[in-house]
Amino acid sequence: MLASALEVFVANGYVGTSTDQLAAAAAVSKQTLYRAFGDKKGVFAALIRAECDKIHDPFAPLVDDLRSAATAEEAVRQLAEQFARSIMASRIQKLRRLVIAEAARFPELGTLYWERGFLRMLASVARCLAVLDERGLLAVPAPELAAQQFAGMLLWIPSNQVMFTGGTVPVQDDDLQRVIDAGVAAFLLAYEPRSRSRPRTS
């Protein structure tokens, strides 16, 4: 029911969506919908909450691979590919666009998704980077901050392109690959273990 609701809300926006459409898309009666969710707002809130509940530590399955990766480059590339491609998946991009589009109407749901969706995914990346720090493959004293930078380098263009163009200018796989390659290279240089101390930034 909620899977079909995402498609309907994304296609029509919150205001443009009717409970008739939501019920039809889910192949249930309006009575069933009202009983389960109360009203349109109830469906929307349940959708966002259900998406947040799915997200715990999505990149935990990578940790074993990262523990056995032979080089920092192999590990960082694996994390970058998995992270960037999973966030750029059409379903996640649609959800993000929907949450942002309705953030003025439902700031509490936007904030929920921010805290339990967006930041949790980032924390999961940070845990992966901490493994590479432990192994001495990288020097990452502040994994959460490094995870933000990693995400930003990989996703600033592809993700904003989808957000601003409403998905009408799709991200080409070649372009995503180029951003991933460059992000991996820059991240390795910024976080390679080095004897001299980092430049202090006052």
Nearest approach, Cβ of residue 12 and its own copies (Å): 8
Residue number, 44 or 110, with CB nearest to its own copies: 110
d(CA 79, CA 63): 9
Residue with smaller CB distance to its own copies, 34 or 96: 96
Minimum distance, C-beta of residue 138 to its own copies, in the bound complex (Å) = 12
For its own copies, the closer of residues 50 and 188 by Cβ is 188
**Measured in whole angstroms, how far is the alpha carbon of residue 104 from the centre of its chain?**
20
Question: Is residue 163 within 8 Å of residue 97, measured between CB atoms?
Answer: yes
Say what angle helices 19-26 and 2-16 make with each other, to 10 degrees. Answer: 160
Inter-residue contact 59 to 127 (CB < 8 Å): yes
Place of tokens 């490094």: 146
**Shortest CB 112 distance to its own copies, Å:** 9
Q: Which one, 34 or 81, has the nearer CB to its own copies?
A: 81
3-state secondary structure of 49: helix
Supply the minimum distance, in Å, between the C-beta of residue 122 and its own copies.
8
Q: Determine contact, residues 6/102, Cβ cutoff 8 Å.
A: no
Where do contacts with its own copies occur on this chain (CB under 8 A)? 10-11, 13, 15-16, 73, 77, 96-97, 99-108, 110-111, 113-114, 118, 142, 145-146, 148-149, 151-157, 160-161, 163-169, 178-179, 181-191, 198-202
Residue 51 CB, shortest distance to its own copies, in Å, is 13
Residue 100: CB atoms within 10 Å: 13
Which is closer to its own copies, CB of 62 or CB of 184?
Answer: 184
CB atoms within 10 A of CB 68: 10
